Amino acid sequence: MNVSLREITEKNWYEATKLKVAKSQKGTVAENVYSIAESKFYPTYEIRGIYADGKMVGFAFYGFDTDENENWIARVMVDENYQRKGYGEEGVKLILERFKERNEGNYVKLSFVEGNKTAEKLYEKIGFAKTGEVIDGEEVMKYEF
């Protein structure tokens, strides 16, 4: 499996907007078009396509939160047609590597909709641990380097 992160540009942004989660997952992550728009107001954040063997299969939005002085993975999603193949896990691991390379802090936070056991198990498998915080109905987890 060859998974990589690639910048979202004028050449692939529309492809990113076509990625969708399953109907049963609606409401667990913002649509990619929203994240692309939101990224324009957060210059310390990056938007990336998660690619598997040259095909965009997912999307990520992450960066350094200057208000909180913390690294955050704001969003990660994998298209419904490519889930349960390890792409989300590999994508998150690549994001963690990027944070580590930047050397901006010794941890990364993320959050997920309360009760989303699939996301919780994935993040725990990678090494995230719950912090006990809940922000806007989302449980916060933390990964320490």
The pLDDT value recorded for residue 104 is: 83
Cα–Cα distance for residue pair 107/105, rounded to 1 Å: 6
**In contact, 140 and 133? CB cutoff 8 Å:** yes
- Model confidence, pTM: 0.94
CB 60 within 8 A of CB 95: yes
3-state SS, 73-141, equals EEEEEECHHHCCCCHHHHHHHHHHHHHHHHCCCCEEEEEEECCCHHHHHHHHHHCCEEEEEEECCEEEE
What CATH number has the domain bearing residue 14?
Answer: 3.40.630.30
Mean pLDDT for all residues in the chain: 95
List 49's β-bridge partners, or say none: 6, 59
User: What confidence score (pLDDT) does residue 28 get?
Assistant: 81
Q: How far from chain centre, in Å, is Cα 56?
A: 14
Largest CA distance in the chain: 40
Q: Which residues of the chain have pLDDT under 50?
A: none
Helix axes 87-102, 117-126, angle to 10 degrees: 50
Structural domain containing residue 24 = 3-144
Q: Domain count of the chain?
A: 1
